[in-house]
């Protein structure tokens, strides 16, 4: 099989490897589609992912495929099942795992980060990490289960109430997923803040009531103090500033994005005090992957305007560059092509 190994220093190498075999409690997956995540971009630039990365490793943690082998003791899954992978594996023994905060696990491993993942033609994973998809669901959509699961955790933290005005800042794949989940949560009015016209149009296609350009002074002014919930999905200072500007009194601000490790922001302390703001961070997807799969299988989410580019396995540098560019929303790698 072919596997694209990340070697560090912005370098990938496609290698011919044996197809892995399933050990007890494991399954082998024929990988069909794998999304390029913002975390992959951070790792590519030498920054940490959800866990520390030690090259060489096969990245890719947003993926779906078909089970081709099941190991001893696996009874809930069968050869031929279409599955998606929850990449995060928790130790179960640390203080956080034992106190209902497994996402903060001190020894977390992640498929596609610390273990070989989806940027290969086949992978082997613990059966407990594989979730069955509806057979008619496109593999590219199944690969979106992991980002949907992460977004669900953020939505849970946001505490959206039916009738709320929700503003999502950033119209990348995450922002457009958040938009749809906020609508399902009962938001009465949905606004996307995004300077890219293509992404604003995608938001309107997916149900946004308005999509503003934050670089336009008049459009920006119209959003000041307008939202009960603001979900920031960009990770830079202007976006975070917008989050605080757009928040109503009593609002919740969810800082969902993955910023650079050394990123800082001068917290507007008087606004936090006077507006009585609630500020929350959100990390990975504790116990939300099954819910994500149920939403996908039920056809409650759309990715037609989100998945914009597809590449074969041997073009990883181009994949990363495209995911960083303004022309794409979501880049998907197709390992079998």
35 CB neighbour count, 10 Å cutoff: 27
Name the pairing type of β-strands 189-193 and 210-212: parallel
Q: Are the CB atoms for 217 and 242 separated by under 8 Å?
A: no
Homologous superfamily in CATH for domain 2-144+306-334? Medium-chain alcohol dehydrogenases, catalytic domain (3.90.180.10)
pLDDT of residue 47: 86
Q: CA angle at residue 54 from 11 to 12, to 5 degrees?
A: 15
Tell me the two tokens of residue 197: 């016209």
pLDDT of residue 144: 98
pLDDT of 50? 75
Give the chain's residues under pLDDT 50. none
- The whole-angstrom distance between residue 36's C-alpha and the CA centroid of its chain comes to 9
| DSSP 8-state class, residue 18 | P
**Three-state SS at 129:** helix
* Predicted local confidence at residue 49, as pLDDT: 74
pLDDT at 52: 85
Read off the tokens for 45: 């630039």
165 is catalytic: no
Of 42, 61, 82, 289, catalytic: 42
Cis peptide before 56 (omega within 30 of 0): yes
**318 Cα distance to chain centroid:** 20
User: What are the extents of the domains in the chain?
Assistant: 2-144+306-334, 150-281
pLDDT for the residue numbered 211: 98
* Cα–Cα distance, 130 to 83 (Å, whole number): 6
- Is 237 assigned a catalytic role? no
**Domain 150-281 maps to which CATH number in 3.40.1160.10, 3.40.50.720, 3.40.640.10, 3.30.360.10?**
3.40.50.720
Euclidean distance between CA atoms 46 and 126, whole angstroms: 27
Predicted local distance difference test score (pLDDT) of residue 275 = 97
Predicted confidence (pLDDT) per residue in 266-310, tens digit: 999 999 999 999 999 999 999 999 999 999 999 999 999 999 999
User: How big is the CA angle at 317 (ends 312 and 319), to the nearest 5 degrees?
Assistant: 50
Q: How far apart are CA 65 and CA 20, in angstroms?
A: 15
**Residue 51: predicted pLDDT:** 82
- Of 39, 84, 165, 288, which residue is the catalytic one? 39
* Span between the terminal Cα atoms of the chain, in Å: 12
User: 10 Å Cβ neighbour count for 56?
Assistant: 14
Contact at 8 Å (CB) between 146 and 85? yes
Whether the ω angle into residue 220 lies within 30 degrees of 0, i.e. cis, is: no
Rounded Cα distance between 84 and 78, Å, is: 14
Tens of pLDDT along 58-79? 999 999 999 999 999 999 999 9
Q: Of the candidates 75, 83, 40, which has an alpha carbon nearest to the alpha carbon of residue 292?
A: 83
Within this chain, domains 2-144+306-334 and 150-281 share the same CATH topology: no
Residue 204, H or E segment: helix 197-205
């Amino acid at each position: 099989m072919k596997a694209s190994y990340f070697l560090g220093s912005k370098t990938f190498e496609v290698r011919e490897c044996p197809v892995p075999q399933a050990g007890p409690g494991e399954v082998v997956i024929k990988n069909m589609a794998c999304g390029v995540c913002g975390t992959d971009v951070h790792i590519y630039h030498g920054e940490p992912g959800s866990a520390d990365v030690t090259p060489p490793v096969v990245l890719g943690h947003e993926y779906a495929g078909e089970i081709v082998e099941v190991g001893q003791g696996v009874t809930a899954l069968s050869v031929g099942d279409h599955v998606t992978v929850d990449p995060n594996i928790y130790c179960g023994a640390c203080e956080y795992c034992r106190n209902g905060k497994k996402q903060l696990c001190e020894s977390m491993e992640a498929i596609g980060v610390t273990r070989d993942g989806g940027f290969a033609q086949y992978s082997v994973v613990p059966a407990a990490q594989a979730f069955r998809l509806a057979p008619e669901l496109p593999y590219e959509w199944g690969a979106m289960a992991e980002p949907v699961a992460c977004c669900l955790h953020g939505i849970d933290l946001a505490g959206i109430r039916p009738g709320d005005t929700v503003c999502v800042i950033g119209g990348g794949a995450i922002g457009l997923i958040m938009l749809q989940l906020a609508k399902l949560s009962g938001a009465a009015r949905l606004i996307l803040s995004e300077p890219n016209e293509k992404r604003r149009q995608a938001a309107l296609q997916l149900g946004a009531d308005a999509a503003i350009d934050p670089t336009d002074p008049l459009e920006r002014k119209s959003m000041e103090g307008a939202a009960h919930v603001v979900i920031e999905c960009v990770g830079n200072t202007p976006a975070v500033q917008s989050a605080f500007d757009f928040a109503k009194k009593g609002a919740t601000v969810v800082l969902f994005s993955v910023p650079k490790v050394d990123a800082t922001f001068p917290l507007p302390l008087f606004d936090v005090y006077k507006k009585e703001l609630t500020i929350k961070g959100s990390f990975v997807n504790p116990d939300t992957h099954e819910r994500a799969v149920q939403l996908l299988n039920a056809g409650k989410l759309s990715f037609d305007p989100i998945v914009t580019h597809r590449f074969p396995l041997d073009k990883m540098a181009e994949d990363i560059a495209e995911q960083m560019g303004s022309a794409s929303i979501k880049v998907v790698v197709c390992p079998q092509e």
